[in-house]
Amino acid sequence: MVSTKRLQQLARQHGTPLFVVDHDELRKNYATFRKYLPRVQAYYAVKANSDPAIVKTLFDAGASFDVASMPEFMIVHELIRDMPEKERQAWIWDKIIYANPIKANGTLRQLDRYKPLVTYDNLEEIKKIKKFAPRAGLALRLRVPNTGAMVELSSKFGASSGEAVDLILEAEKEGLTVEGISFHVGSQTTNFDNYVQALNLAANVFREAKARGAGKMFLVDIGGGFPAPYDDSVKPFRELAKILNRELDRLFPKDIQILAEPGRFLVATAGTVVCTVIGKAVRDGKLCYYVDDGVYHTFSGVIFDHCQYHFEAFKKGPVETCSVFGPTCDALDVVSMTERLPADLKLGDMVYSRNIGAYSHASSTHFNGFPPAKVVHVNR
């Protein structure tokens, strides 16, 4: 964790708003994931934060990658473009999954030359892949329970368990290779039973597929959802890992490869934003602070990620409940209505928010003419 002293030094040097990425934290989180889930290969979900420097640190640490667009694919590809062609193709096959179940025809055309692993969940996608990316390997995306997840995904993606094997057989009928099953229990899933139910559904599909004559599948992608420790209500990762290890060993032989797509878990705690108080008012008896970052920028997760970030002040003193607003003129730009901050903050004082590395700066815009926060990378 970057110290408050260092945060202040960086803010004075670079100005605010400032988004600070701690690469030691990235490496620590990746090592934790591998320690507690030794059977699972981590495919970093690039959409969580696609900053090339973050991708490079995880690449160097040994991570694989989950991409969901061609720009994300090319960020990863840039790291391997100097490999010999044969070695590069082998790396892509083993280290990248294109995990967006719905892909445009043009995207599939671009992907085909790389022979990647892609997900699908419906008949129309089979037809598209057959026509535009026939050299791709396939993983069927299965719809699984998302109960209690902060961001629910099962209504948008996933084949039902009842149609899953039919879709596997249909893809094979078209001459495509189905390599396995994928699922996603929802983002920031604190209900660990979602994983238990999902793994059992996947195992049932494996058994039914074998019984109905499908080709041998050899991988299970257990998706993302691994919760970041935003507060004390989130149980330790090792507790989830214990459950996963038990179920994986019970349900899947050792020759089945296990993939996962951690995004938030790897990057959330590696990001801190520093803001400056640019305005102060009392409205209907409530203290209001205005800062130079907001929901159109680093705090976009308030809108898009259903996430509530909290502020701390470098200045200490008696606190009271206040509202914090972003810098734009839009009434939507409300970061929080219930922050506990010192009542005597002055214009020019700085505040900061930790654990904001995922789905935050990645969604920043230039709305109202305000640019995103400057990014600074730190290796302690």
Residues 233, 264: Cα–Cα separation, whole Å: 16
Cα 160–Cα 166–Cα 172 angle in degrees, nearest 5: 130
Q: Which value, to the nearest 10 degrees, does the dihedral of the CA atoms of residues 101, 104, 106, 111 take? A: 0
Tokens 């990425």 sit on residue: 21
The catalytically annotated residue of 288, 307, 322, 329 is: 329
Residues 221, 202: Cα–Cα separation, whole Å: 10
Task: Count Cβ neighbours within 10 Å for each residue of 254-276 and write b for 16 or more, e otherwise.
Answer: eebbbbbbbbbbbbbbbbbbbbb
Task: Give me the residues paired with residue 277 across strands.
Answer: 291
Task: Count Cβ neighbours within 10 Å for each residue of 74-85 and write b for 16 or more, e otherwise.
Answer: ebbbebeeeeee
Q: Which value, to the nearest 10 degrees, does the dihedral of the CA atoms of residues 221, 222, 224, 228 take? A: -140
Instruction: State yes or no: is 275 an active-site residue.
Output: no
Two tokens, residue 365: 């815009």
Residues 267, 12: Cα–Cα separation, whole Å: 25
- Strands 117-120 vs 40-45: parallel, antiparallel or unpaired: unpaired
Pick the closest to residue 129 from 152, 101, 157 (CA basis).
Answer: 101
Q: How far is CA 352 from CA 8, 153, 249, in A?
A: 9, 31, 43
Tell me the catalytic residues: 329
